[in-house]
Amino acid sequence: MKYLNKADPQVATLLKAEQKRQATTLMMIPSENHSSRAVKKVVGSIFQDKYCEGYPYKRYYQGQENFDKLETLCQERAKKLFNVPHANVQPLSGSPANLIVYFALLNPGDTILSLEMAQGGHISHGLKIGISGKYYNSVFYHVDKKTGIIDYDEISRLLKEVKPKLLIVGFSAYPRIIDFAKISEIAKNSDTYILADIAHFAGLIAAKEYPSPVPYCHIITTTTQKTLRGPRGAIIMVTRKGLDKDMQLAQKIDRALFPGFQGGPHENSIAGIAVALKEASSLSFKIYIKKVLQNAKILADELIKRGFILCTNGTNTHLILIDLRNFKILGNTAAEALEQAGIIINRNLVPYDKNSPFYPSGIRLGTPGITSRGIGPTETRRIAKYISMIIKDVAKIKKQLKITSEQEKNKDVRKKIIQNCKIIKIIRKKVKQLCLLFPLKKEY
């Protein structure tokens, strides 16, 4: 730190402020996590100073003896952990990883079948205003309006109707187990490739606490920074089923990545991924993931008990999605009020939301981050109580101040609601005390 203080006091000040923010608030955005010190050490190391275009032992630059070994080690760890014959660890992040798969398999205009973003899908799965929706013909399936569960019958129907070249399963805001076997059965007579984007569930799958898509899908993409608790990065994997369908699949993916899409890989991130994969294969990681799931279940049960409506009526993953329409407040107001109390979550669309993504009717929260700092069932129950108290109070204040939903879209109006919510200050103190009791561990 002393070097940074001297070299760039402005950035040093921001770093210190961020350290304080993370130490004194609860990380409850389900796509975030506290990576280990070992991961951070290699990501910030001299591994980042080298250009390594190409693949191990087939590079375009000299001086690769350590990087060839490093990247091969990372590939081998990914293959072993997820039980796949091929892993490419070079994608810079999850969205590019998905685009690389499309580029490898599709021609512009070909059809992708995926879950609509507004119902839990991801922007890189064919959102019409994004690159994947503009270059490819994206068609969407949905969740059942009543249960919130993926409508497998609709997938079956659309597979016959639109004959997609690629079917994507795996989501950003879906709190349930995906029935990969059913997907595979439905797609049995179709010529489609099946891509499982396990970005959210990768850690759960590594810990064998979520079914693996490997026997049922052809390609798998994942980010490495979420439940897997690694650095920012991604992996594209090809399964045996994928190679059975297309012997050239691994080469197609590799060539689509380089030279098709990216230049030099970020070997410092690859080093971080290698470390995270080793950590994720340990018994302590399995125990950690079990605790993540236990905390998420407790959070869901406690909130339901207090009158909250959860999409799919609960969770069996690390995340929950709350539909706030019964409280008649926007996700924005809830997220901003909770932030003032030190509970950091994100606003989110809920299935069949009539609102826009900027002013959605829900919030999404999860337990990977708080579990990494050692928070357990008792404290999670307490956090659920705090969340409930704050949301109910802001809803009451909005009503008392006779603020309409249209007026609530104004940031200053939301500020006024939050300023009137006196319990936030009290809960902020309690959250700080909780954070002190569970400091970010030395290794996290």
Ligand X SMILES: Cc1ncc(COP(=O)(O)O)c(C=O)c1O
Report CA 274 to chain centroid distance, whole Å.
19
Integer Cα distance of 249 and 355 in angstroms = 41
CB atoms within 10 A of CB 7: 9
Q: Nearer to ligand X by C-beta: 31 or 119? A: 31
Is the Cβ of residue 97 or residue 403 nearer to ligand X in the bound state? 97
Asked about 226 being catalytic, the answer comes back as: yes
Active-site residue, 102 included: no
Binding test (CB under 6 A) with ligand X, winner from 124, 317, 332, 380 = 124
Q: Which residues of 227-256 are buried (b: 16+ CB within 10 A; e: fewer)?
A: bbbbbbbbbbbbbebbbebeeebbebbbeb
Q: CB of residue 87 vs ligand X: minimum separation in angstroms? A: 17
**Residue 122 in the binding site for ligand X (CB under 6 A):** yes
Is 172 a residue that touches ligand X (CB under 6 A)? yes
How many other β-carbons are positioned within 10 Å of the β-carbon of residue 52?
24
Asked if 201 interacts with ligand X (CB under 6 A), we say no
Catalytic residue among 25, 192, 223, 333: 223
In angstroms, what is the minimal distance from the CB of 30 to ligand X? 9
- Contact region for ligand X (CB under 6 A) — 10-18, 192-200, 275-283, 430-438? 192-200
Span of 142-150, 164-172, 314-322, 349-357 interacting with ligand X by CB under 6 A: 164-172
* Residue of closest CB approach to ligand X: 94
Task: Assess 114 for contact with ligand X (CB under 6 A).
Answer: no
| Residues between 16 and 45 that touch ligand X (CB under 6 A) | 31
Can you tell me which of 67, 136, 141, 171 binds ligand X, judged by CB under 6 A?
171
Measured CA to CA, the distance from residue 237 to residue 225 in angstroms comes to: 16
Active-site annotation holds for 151:
no
In the region spanning residues 75 to 104, those forming contacts with ligand X, defined by CB under 6 A, are 93-95
Could you say whether residue 297 binds ligand X (CB under 6 A)? no
Which residue in the set 54, 148, 170, 203 belongs to the binding site for ligand X (CB under 6 A)? 170
Written as six digits, the tokens of 166 are 């690629």
Residue with tokens 């509970």: 343
Q: Which is nearer to ligand X, 133 or 170 (CB)?
A: 170
* 346 sits near ligand X (criterion: CB under 6 A): no
Catalytic residue among 32, 53, 179, 246: 53
Annotated catalytic residue 347: no
Query: Mask: binding to ligand X, 260-289, rule CB under 6 A, as x and -?
Result: ------------------------------
| Least Cβ distance, residue 200 to ligand X (angstroms) | 5
Candidates 182, 232, 240, 392; catalytic one: 232
**Sole binder of ligand X in the list 77, 142, 165, 200 (CB under 6 A):** 200
Q: Which position among 77, 176, 226, 252 bears the catalytic label?
A: 226
- Which residue in the list 50, 51, 110, 154 is annotated as catalytic? 51
Least distance in Å: CB of 351 to ligand X? Answer: 16
Question: Which residue type sits at 311?
Answer: C
* 364 among known catalytic residues: no
210-239 positions binding ligand X, by CB under 6 A? 223
Of 132 and 355, CB closest to ligand X = 132
Evaluated on CA atoms 287, 289, 293, 298, the torsion sign reads positive
Helix axes 377-400 and 331-340, enclosed angle (nearest 10): 120
- Pick between residue 119 and residue 333 the one whose CB is nearest to ligand X: 119
Q: Least distance from C-beta 344 to ligand X, angstroms?
A: 16
Minimum gap (Å) between residue 198 Cβ and ligand X: 8
Contact 66, 76 (CB under 8 A): no
110 catalytically annotated: no
Active site residues: 51, 53, 197, 223, 226, 232
Footprint of ligand X (CB under 6 A) = 31, 93-95, 122, 124, 170-172, 197, 199-200, 223
